[in-house]
Amino acid sequence: AQRVTQPEKLLSVFKGAPVELKCNYSYSGSPELFWYVQYSRQRLQLLLRHISRESIKGFTADLNKGETSFHLKKPFAQEEDSAMYYCALRTGGGNKLTFGTGTQLKVEL
């Protein structure tokens, strides 16, 4: 069965410091990984997906199949990055997403 693990419930960094939100997955097939974000009082929304290989709001994530990881990184954290981040795994031919438990990122001044 598929599984997504986000080991940190809370990550606190100072503004300008690098950020890395960890995500590991377990899936026997070919995975598609996503990062979703929920800002305070806003809806859950897609941040980025691995197949796009793009940087969104300064965030990047590389799929490492050897380590079964999809960590989210940003070189310099900004205050507006404070939010809840969820890693998600898409499996099968449909559009079923399995989410991790989320990491709350807090960027302090």
Q: Which residues bind another protein (CB under 8 A)?
A: 4, 9, 43-46, 51, 86, 88, 93-102
- Give backbone dihedrals phi and psi of 56, rounded to 5 degrees, phi first: -120, 125
Beta carbon of residue 29, minimum distance to another protein (angstroms, whole number): 16
Nearest to another protein of 59, 86 (CB atom): 86
H helix runs in 1-109, sequence order: none
- In angstroms, the Cα distances linking 49 to 56, 60, 63 are 10, 9, 10
- Give backbone dihedrals phi and psi of 50, rounded to 5 degrees, phi first: -70, -30
Nearest to another protein of 69, 99 (CB atom): 99
Beta carbon of residue 102, minimum distance to another protein (angstroms, whole number): 6
Nearest to another protein of 60, 98 (CB atom): 98
